[in-house]
Amino acid sequence: MKKIVAFILAVLVMGIIAPITLVNAETASTLNEYAIDNIKILEDDKGNLLLSDNVTGEKVTLSINNDDSASLKMNDGEIKEVSRDEVGNIYVDNKLEIPSPVGSVDSTIPSIQKRAASKWIYFQTTYYDTTTQGNLQSIALGLFSLMPYVGTVATIAGIIQTARNLNAPTLYVKVNQYHTKGYQFYKYDSFFYSNKARTKLVKRVTKEKRMW
């Protein structure tokens, strides 16, 4: 009789534990999936990105700490540290990987700012380039370089895919930057072009960011 009672109790305990375990497994991580040609991008609920090449089988994980810091976990398990300086240069393990173009900052006030009063105060315009081609590390760094100005991975992936469809190996970017009087809010008005002269617009994205 004691053995029967013990068995029944064990079954009841398993019945209680199993549903809890199932719920935890389902809510542990929410994945969003995007694609750039043969490259699949999975985004978890912490903002980490897993990039995988369906052709080569290569995989890279981009873990983002903030707008200026991230890490790359390579296919062989190697960890590389990624950083961005104040002028937009991107470094991998303290070595310059994506330079900010020379003369990339312009302080000329755009004409639209001159014509109308606004809560936004013009700060500067920056110019930089980012690749739409290359290996997974190049694509991951391209995503990282665009995030402060665009934000969502879905939008960035869409912009890169559009540039690829136009056979543009490089995106040429112009960002007009604004802030409010107390510097609490910043606005990034970004223009993405498929040519170096920046005349063929691929997409325009505006992002507002609260600093504190």
User: What do you get for the CA distance between the two ends of the chain, in Å?
Assistant: 66
What does the pLDDT look like over 131-187, one tens digit per residue? 888 889 999 998 998 887 887 889 999 999 999 999 999 999 999 999 999 888 999
What does the pLDDT look like over 5-34, one tens digit per residue? 444 334 333 343 333 333 333 444 668 999
Residue 108's pLDDT band (boundaries 50, 70, 90)? low
Mean pLDDT of 113-125: 72
Tokens 């469809």 — which residue?
Answer: 165
Give the residue with greater pLDDT, 46 vs 61.
61
Residue 101's pLDDT band (boundaries 50, 70, 90)? low
Distance set, CA 171 to CA 28, 34, 113, 212 (Å) = 36, 19, 26, 31
At 106 the pLDDT is 54
Tokens 């104040």 — which residue?
Answer: 86
Pick the closest to residue 36 from 49, 22, 25 (CA basis).
49
Mean pLDDT of 76-82: 96
Mean pLDDT of the chain: 80
Longest dimension (CA), the chain: 90
3-state class (DSSP) for residue 18 = helix
Distance set, CA 198 to CA 112, 155, 203 (Å) = 18, 20, 12
CA 207, CA 113: separation in Å to the nearest integer?
17
